[in-house]
Amino acid sequence: MNVFEALISRKSVRAFLNKAVEKEKIETILNTAKHSPSGVNIQPWLVYVVSGKTKSKIETKIIDAFENGEKANMDYAYYPMQWNEPYKCRRKETGLLMYQTLKIAKDDKEKQKEQWKANYRAFDAPVVVYFFIDSSLEKGSWLDYGMFLQSIMLAATELGLGSCTQAALAEYPDIVRKELNVREDKILLCGMALGYEDANAAINSYRTERITLEEFTKFYD
């Protein structure tokens, strides 16, 4: 597989096989992704790989908080407070397509809630990777982190693993920090589900559209 193939074939996987991920593969992925660029070589990534009992404990506490009505309290605002076009339309289309794929009706709030809770279980992936960044760092380091995350997903694709980067896994950061013994001055950026894709799951047939080159690019001579 070359880089072009990996970029196009990578997708957000939301159903995984009950199959453990070899530690050696995770180490290979991270050892490869660490070569991602960062301003003045700051390398802002702080990575926690979680599985087994620790994963179960964290997700149980998060789901309990969600079901008890505790509001999500991310360390930062991932989405805009006000949705404008064309982003509002794209967001709506993405959600509708997912629910149509799963045959969940727009008025079936219970099934929608259950599907949302699957986010907190990392879609039952065997591994969750949590990504933290020092709160003293600025936006440039967040750009660096995005390249690091993409590198991880591409390396995972190369090794036959599925992934899904999730802001939802950062909605209850205090729980995650406490369970992983992470200092308060570390911001939880996101989590990533990692495992072997269940190719037969309907949710994994769901693919979002991409806008055309002409819609987002201008060339000047």
Q: What is the pLDDT of residues 91-103, one digit of tens each?
A: 999 888 888 888 8
Residue 104 to residues 11, 111, 114, 115, 207, Cα–Cα distance (Å):
21, 7, 11, 9, 17
Q: Which residue has the higher pLDDT, 21 or 206?
A: 21
**Residue 37 corresponds to which tokens in the numbers above?**
């660029």
CATH class given for the domain over 3-81+120-216: alpha beta
For 40, other C-beta atoms within 10 Å of its C-beta total 8
For the chain, the domains span 3-81+120-216
Query: What local confidence, expressed as pLDDT, does residue 104 receive?
Result: 84
Q: What is the pLDDT of residues 113-151, one digit of tens each?
A: 888 899 999 999 999 999 999 999 999 999 999 999 999
pTM of this structure: 0.95
**Per-residue confidence band for 64, with pLDDT thresholds at 50, 70 and 90:** very high
Which residues are CB-neighbours of 99 under 8 A, at least 6 positions away? Answer: 105, 106, 112, 115
What are the start-end ranges of the H helices in 68-216?
87-101, 109-120, 139-158, 173-180, 213-216
Q: What is the pLDDT of residues 143-168, one digit of tens each?
A: 999 999 999 999 999 999 999 999 99
In the three-class reduction of DSSP (H, G, I as helix; E, B as strand; rest coil), residue 187 is classed as strand
